[in-house]
Every structure is written in structure tokens, then in C-alpha cells.
């Protein structure tokens, strides 16, 4: 007989729709018949957001940021960006775009069951996490024989949202589909703004976007503990980039648009018993990202005569497979093994220039064991190995530039102690790392950068001590963490002077050691019959060996406070307050001030199946920026109607 504490951990590690104790899960709303968490949990209206960024404001260690030069909503987790924090959709690792970062604003929240942030070491992940941890987007499965939901949203900036979801659940399996369309013509600046981007309250030039996304998923369960699931997702999007409006004389405005920002992906996952006390879970997946960038001469977005005007087409493709095998060799001892392989390909074309193409192959293996001593103690330990093998680097700008193979060894150990009072203590030590991306090794960055094919992988030693308490009326969590990064990979702005052009160019380099350490604290409590409060506060320090560099998009402290009031039948009020310290946008500076942002959500639920909600973001019309020269939106209102059937 397996102890409850360990069995819960085992299930969370293996079920794609379940999660390990201690993670932070933001619920995407409330829909009858779907495995969606309670939409009335005081999350500050997170489930109403058009994309996943609105659901992540209060996640521990998680800081949203902006890459102003590409109009991307980026993130860091304990100071590590998306290159060090993989993003998964239904267990499938999304391809890292060659240009830019994972843009969370492109992913609709509609149709997702969970958005889970797992900072640091994740039990059972082995080959599927980075130095920062991981971010999981999970669509779940239907829980009723027939269930559907529709949503319509209207808001400032000519925002329009239309979405629908439907699913079928039968004893032998399930099927579901969801579709979401979102459009925004522009956003308006704060009325307190006064700068090159326009007067207070003005429309931000070239700030529109359009997103269409859908998912299909079906599963067959021929017998107990056996399942075969297939899935497909797609996105068809376009976006605009507001021009630079700052005071840095070295920054030149970019008049860019992306008329194409498309993604497709598919997966097949199987699960079957392997002996009397084991299981076997193979997974195959494919992911494609293709975008077209159109650069113009000026703000008319019609003239294309200068050398800096061009059309560039990029295609990133990922093909992969992995295998999980697990077995209880003793009622309290679980042994797991994982094998992983994937191939990443990038190809880019530009009229009048030769094509550039790069191919990497990555492989890995891992072995781990977990032992539960009753319901009190749990011990986990394991070792993973990964290898990067660059296979092709076709770039006429440099000859013989393919980098050599590199390897990472990643041991980990964790001990958990649970008390009958509901308290839990955990101590974890691990070593992780990441390989340099293709762009970091090979890119010329529009002649503003130098390639560095000899980049070495980052190697990260991590440790964390956590405590958490869960009671019927309150919960709390405190984590102290530290990470030592060796051969840290950083983009060094203006690293080299080129006499032939008379300009400085950037280069990605190993800059020595970096130390990340900090504290995360969160809690929730029902303070009265009608009130629930939630609070999250993070503190982060990053120290770099190179004193001339600074950590980017990593505010020293940040926090969020939300409340939920349910004093009247059918009504709910959810005020929220977010704050963040100052941050740097580039390694050589570009500092922006901290900010305090208030928001408010008012919900009316006349029937169990209908909801009308008004959400106001940046309630006090704060003038702020996350990237120097790119002011954020002022006050925005958003009206959303949801119907379930």
C-alpha cells in the first residue's frame, strides 16, 4: 500500500492534467462541465484576460516584461528568461523562436484549464525544465458528457474577443475543440504621458494586433490505465510594433510590422501498463513557427527604399519524441527513467540574399528514484544527461561556423517533511543548465551584432528551502532560493566597435558568473464572511561578475494584492494592486522606473450559466514603461459576457 503523500506526488508527475504540490496554478475561469478551477478564488479577474499574461501577474518569482524592439510580452522566472524557462502546451515543449522570445501575449487564455508556474526544481521533470523552472499551459479534458461555452468581449482600443469551446466525454474517450479570436486596433497612452510618442491620452502609433487560435484534442481509453491522446493547435496572427519614443541617441526607431505570425503543432501521447506496478508513456510531437517581418523607412508604413527596409521570412520547426517509464519496485519506492530526443531547425529567407539555415539535435536520458517513509518523509534523487549536437549552420556570412557538441549533467536531490498540522518543509539541491540558442551563436542581428559560435552552455547550481501551510481558512508559503550561474550567457550591447561602419555592435557572450538569490512569500486568507485576501511578494538580487553589465527585465522586488467581496447574491467585486521595482531593459542600461498599478473587476452572475464582467486595467491611469522608450497603455476598460451550456 503506497502512502497518500507519495501517491499524490506520483500522480501529479505522470498525469498531464495534474500538478505537483507547491506549484502555483492560476485558474482560467469557471465553466460547467470542464476541469476548470474555481473562478471565484480572488484571482483579480485573471480568467477574463484575452491572453495568458493577465493570469500570471501574481505568480511567485514571475515577472512580466517587454521587449520593446519587437513588441513582445516576455517574462523572467527568478531572473531567468524564456531561454532558461521552457514553455509547455499540453506537455509539448514549444519551439523557441529564433528571433525574439516566447511572446506570451500571442497565447489566448480561453480554452486553457490551467496556467501553471513551477519555479526552480520540479519533481519528476528531469529533462523538461530549465534553470528558472518551467511554465505549463494545459487545456485539460471535458468532465461532462456534453459541455460548451461561448464568450464575447468588447473594450477600449476597439478590442474584440469572440471564443467558443465544446467537448464530449464518453466512457471510451473524449474529444474537444476550442477557438478564440482577438483583435485590438490600438491602445491609448496614459493622460499623464508627455513625450515623443504623443500627447497624453493619444493613440499609440502602430500598436494593433490580431490573433486567431484553436485547439483540437481527442483521447481513447480502451482499458483502465491505458490511453491514447492526439492533439493539434494552430495560431494565425499579425502584430504591429510601436516605434521607439525614448531619449537614447543610439536607439533608432524601427518601423516594423508582422503581417504573419503563425504557429502549428501536433502531438500523440500514449500510456499503458508496464508490468503489475509500472507504466510506459511515449510521446511524439511536432511544432512549427513561421513569421514574416516587413520593415519600412518611416511612420507612413508605405515607403521601402532604404537598406534598412526589407521583408524577412523565418521558419522554426521542432520534431521530438520522449519516453517515460516508471515502476514501483517496492510499495514505497518508485523508480523512473526518461529518454528524450528532438531536432530544431531554423530557416530564414530575404529577397536578394542567400537563405540561412541551422539544425540542432538534442538528446538526453534521466534516471530518478523517490521514496516515501509513511506520510511524513519523502526523498527524491536523480541524474539527467543532455547533449547538444549542431548538425548544420548554413550562413554565407561566415565559413565553418557550426559550433561543437556540448553536454550537461544534472543531478538533483530533494527531501520533504510533512507535519500532521498541515505544514510542509522541503529542501532541494540541483544542478541544471541550458545550451546557447541558434540565434545566440550565429546571428548578425541586421548587421548590428557579431556571431559567437563558440558559446559555452550555462551551468547552474540551485538550492531552495520552502515552507507551506494549508488550512481551511488560510494558506501560506515561503521560499528562500539561490542559484549560481557559471558561464552566464548575456547579450552585451555595444560590445565591439566596427571602424568600417563607425558604429558599435552587440554580441552574445559568456560573461562569467552570475548569482541569483531571493525570497518569495505568498498567502491567502478569508478575513470575514464575505472577504478573501491574497498577497504575493518577491525579492530578487542578481550579481554579475562583470560590473559593467546589469541584469535585464528583473525588478528587485514585486508584489500583488487582490481581494474578493461576495456580500451580495449574484455579485462579486475583485480589486487588485500590482507593484514592481525599477528594471533595466538592456545590459548597458535603459533603466525604467518602478510602478504601482490598480485594477478592478466587477462580475454579475444572474444565473449559474451566465456571467457579465467589467474589468478595468491600470485603473488610476499610471504612466509607466517596462522597456525604455516604449510607454505602456493607460487606463483600459473591458466588458466580457460568458455563456455556458
pLDDT in tens, 314-354: 999 999 999 999 999 999 999 999 999 999 999 998 887 88
d(CA 469, CA 523): 9
What is the reported pTM?
Answer: 0.89
d(CA 89, CA 489): 26
502-526 confidence digits (pLDDT tens): 777 888 899 999 999 999 999 999 9
pLDDT reported for residue 396: 66
Buried b (16+ CB within 10 A) or exposed e, 516-551: bbbbbbbbbeeeeeeebbbbbbbbbebebeeeebbb
Cβ atoms 132, 76 nearer than 8 A: yes
d(CA 610, CA 27): 18
In which band, very low, low, confident or very high, does the pLDDT at 46 lie, cut at 50, 70 and 90?
A: low
d(CA 384, CA 374): 27
pLDDT reported for residue 535: 94
Residue 8 has pLDDT above 60, yes or no: no
Cβ atoms 319, 360 nearer than 8 A: no
Q: Which residues contact 553 (CB under 8 A, 6 or more apart)?
A: 63, 65, 66, 74, 76, 81, 583, 584, 585, 626
Task: Tell me which residue of 42, 7, 41, 8 sits closest to 22, measured CA to CA.
Answer: 8
Cβ atoms 288, 264 nearer than 8 A: yes
Phi, psi for 53 (deg, rounded to 5): -60, -35
Helices (H), 296-360: none
State mean pLDDT over 611-628.
Answer: 95
Residue 574 has pLDDT above 90, yes or no: yes
Cβ atoms 641, 152 nearer than 8 A: yes
Cβ atoms 488, 457 nearer than 8 A: no
In which band, very low, low, confident or very high, does the pLDDT at 203 lie, cut at 50, 70 and 90?
A: very high
Residue 359 has pLDDT above 90, yes or no: yes
Share above pLDDT 70 across residues of the chain, in percent, rounded to a whole number: 90
Helices (H), 184-279: none
The full 3-state SS of 70-137, as one line of letters, equals: CCEEEEEECCECCCCCCEEECCEECCCCCCCCCCHHHCECCCCCEEEEEECCCCCCCCCCCCCEEEEE
pLDDT reported for residue 15: 35
Residue 546 has pLDDT above 70, yes or no: yes
Q: Which residues make beta-bridge pairs with 116?
A: 25, 136
pLDDT reported for residue 11: 31
Whether the CA torsion 455, 457, 463, 466 is positive or negative: it is positive
Share above pLDDT 90 across residues of the chain, in percent, rounded to a whole number: 60
The C-alpha cell of 217 is what? Answer: 484534442
State mean pLDDT over 570-597.
Answer: 91
637: buried, middle or exposed (CB in 10 Å: 19+, 13-18, 0-12)?
middle
Q: What is the mean pLDDT of the chain?
A: 86
In Å, what is the CA distance from 284 to each residue of 125, 215, 265, 388, 405? 17, 17, 11, 19, 24
pLDDT reported for residue 293: 94
Residue 45 has pLDDT above 70, yes or no: no
Pairwise pLDDT comparison (480 vs 112), residue with the higher score: 480
Cβ atoms 59, 133 nearer than 8 A: no
Other Cβ atoms closer than 10 A to 359: 18
Q: Which residues make beta-bridge pairs with 357?
A: 347, 394
Residue 360 has pLDDT above 80, yes or no: yes
The C-alpha cell of 592 is what? Answer: 525604467
d(CA 208, CA 158): 10
Cβ atoms 318, 335 nearer than 8 A: no
The C-alpha cell of 123 is what? Answer: 519533481
The C-alpha cell of 317 is what? Answer: 520547426
Residue 29 has pLDDT above 50, yes or no: no
157-177 confidence digits (pLDDT tens): 999 999 999 999 998 999 999
DSSP helix/strand/coil, 558:
strand
Task: Tell me which residue of 314, 589, 316 sits closest to 446, measured CA to CA.
Answer: 314
In which band, very low, low, confident or very high, does the pLDDT at 444 lie, cut at 50, 70 and 90?
A: confident
Phi, psi for 566 (deg, rounded to 5): -130, 50
Amino acid at each position: 500500500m503506497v502512502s497518500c503523500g507519495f501517491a499524490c506526488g506520483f500522480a501529479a508527475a505522470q498525469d498531464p492534467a495534474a500538478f505537483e504540490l507547491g506549484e502555483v496554478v492560476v485558474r482560467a475561469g469557471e465553466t460547467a462541465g470542464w476541469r476548470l478551477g474555481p473562478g471565484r478564488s480572488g484571482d483579480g479577474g485573471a480568467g477574463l484576460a484575452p491572453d495568458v499574461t493577465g493570469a500570471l501577474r501574481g505568480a511567485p518569482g514571475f515577472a512580466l516584461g517587454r521587449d520593446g524592439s519587437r513588441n513582445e510580452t516576455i517574462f523572467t522566472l527568478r531572473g531567468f528568461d524564456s531561454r532558461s524557462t521552457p514553455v509547455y502546451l499540453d506537455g509539448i515543449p514549444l519551439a523557441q523562436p529564433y528571433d525574439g522570445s516566447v511572446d506570451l501575449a500571442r497565447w489566448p487564455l480561453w480554452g486553457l484549464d490551467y496556467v501553471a508556474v513551477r519555479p526552480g526544481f520540479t519533481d519528476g521533470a528531469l529533462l523538461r525544465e530549465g534553470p528558472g523552472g518551467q511554465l505549463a499551459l494545459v487545456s485539460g479534458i471535458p468532465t461532462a458528457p456534453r459541455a460548451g461555452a461561448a464568450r464575447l468581449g468588447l473594450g477600449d482600443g476597439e478590442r474584440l474577443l469572440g471564443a467558443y469551446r465544446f467537448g464530449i466525454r464518453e466512457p471510451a474517450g473524449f474529444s474537444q475543440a476550442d477557438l478564440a479570436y482577438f483583435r485590438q486596433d490600438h491602445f491609448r497612452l496614459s493622460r499623464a504621458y508627455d513625450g515623443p510618442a504623443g500627447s497624453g491620452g493619444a493613440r499609440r502609433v502602430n500598436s494593433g494586433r490580431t490573433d486567431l487560435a484553436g485547439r483540437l484534442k481527442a483521447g481513447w481509453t480502451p482499458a483502465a490505465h491505458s490511453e491514447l491522446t492526439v492533439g493539434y493547435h494552430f495560431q494565425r496572427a499579425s502584430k504591429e510594433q510601436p516605434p521607439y519614443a525614448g531619449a537614447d541617441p543610439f536607439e533608432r526607431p524601427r518601423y516594423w510590422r508582422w503581417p504573419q505570425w503563425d504557429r502549428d503543432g501536433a502531438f500523440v501521447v500514449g500510456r499503458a501498463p508496464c508490468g503489475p506496478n509500472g507504466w510506459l508513456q511515449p510521446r511524439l510531437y511536432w511544432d512549427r513557427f513561421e513569421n514574416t517581418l516587413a520593415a519600412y523607412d518611416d511612420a507612413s508604413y508605405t515607403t521601402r527604399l532604404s537598406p534598412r527596409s526589407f521583408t524577412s521570412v523565418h521558419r522554426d520547426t521542432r520534431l521530438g519524441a520522449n519516453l517515460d517509464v516508471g515502476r514501483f519496485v517496492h510499495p514505497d519506492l518508485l523508480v523512473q527513467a526518461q529518454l528524450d530526443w528532438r531536432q530544431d531547425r531554423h530557416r530564414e529567407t530575404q529577397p536578394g540574399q542567400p537563405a540561412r539555415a541551422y539544425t540542432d539535435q538534442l538528446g538526453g536520458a534521466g534516471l530518478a528514484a523517490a521514496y516515501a517513509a509513511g506520510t511524513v518523509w519523502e526523498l527524491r534523487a536523480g541524474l539527467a544527461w543532455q547533449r547538444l549536437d549542431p548538425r548544420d549552420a548554413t550562413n554565407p556570412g561566415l565559413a565553418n561556423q557550426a559550433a561543437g557538441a556540448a553536454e550537461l549533467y544534472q543531478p538533483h536531490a530533494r527531501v520533504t517533511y510533512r507535519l500532521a498540522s498541515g505544514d510542509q518543509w522541503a529542501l532541494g539541491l540541483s544542478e541544471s543548465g541550458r545550451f546557447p540558442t541558434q540565434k545566440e551563436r550565429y546571428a548578425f542581428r541586421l548587421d548590428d551584432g557579431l556571431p559567437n559560435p563558440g558559446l559555452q552552455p550555462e551551468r547552474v547550481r540551485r538550492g531552495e528551502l520552502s515552507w507551506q501551510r494549508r488550512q481551511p481558512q488560510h494558506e501560506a508559503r515561503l521560499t528562500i532560493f539561490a542559484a549560481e550561474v557559471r558561464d552566464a550567457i548575456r547579450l552585451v550591447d555595444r560590445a565591439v566597435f566596427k571602424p568600417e561602419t563607425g558604429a558599435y555592435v552587440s554580441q552574445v557572450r559568456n560573461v562569467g558568473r552570475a548569482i541569483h538569490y531571493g525570497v518569495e512569500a505568498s498567502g491567502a486568507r478569508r478575513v470575514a464572511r464575505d472577504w478573501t485576501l491574497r498577497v504575493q511578494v518577491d525579492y530578487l538580487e542578481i550579481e554579475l561578475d562583470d560590473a559593467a553589465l546589469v541584469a535585464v527585465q528583473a525588478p528587485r522586488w514585486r508584489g500583488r494584492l487582490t481581494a474578493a467581496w461576495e456580500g451580495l447574491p449574484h455579485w462579486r467585486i475583485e480589486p487588485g494592486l500590482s507593484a514592481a521595482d525599477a528594471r533595466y531593459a538592456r545590459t548597458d542600461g535603459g533603466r525604467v522606473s518602478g510602478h504601482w498599478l490598480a485594477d478592478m473587476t466587477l462580475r454579475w452572475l444572474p444565473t449559474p450559466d451566465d456571467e457579465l464582467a467589467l474589468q478595468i486595467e491600470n485603473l488610476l491611469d499610471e504612466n509607466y514603461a517596462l522597456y525604455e522608450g516604449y510607454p505602456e497603455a493607460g487606463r483600459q476598460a473591458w466588458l466580457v459576457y460568458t455563456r455556458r451550456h
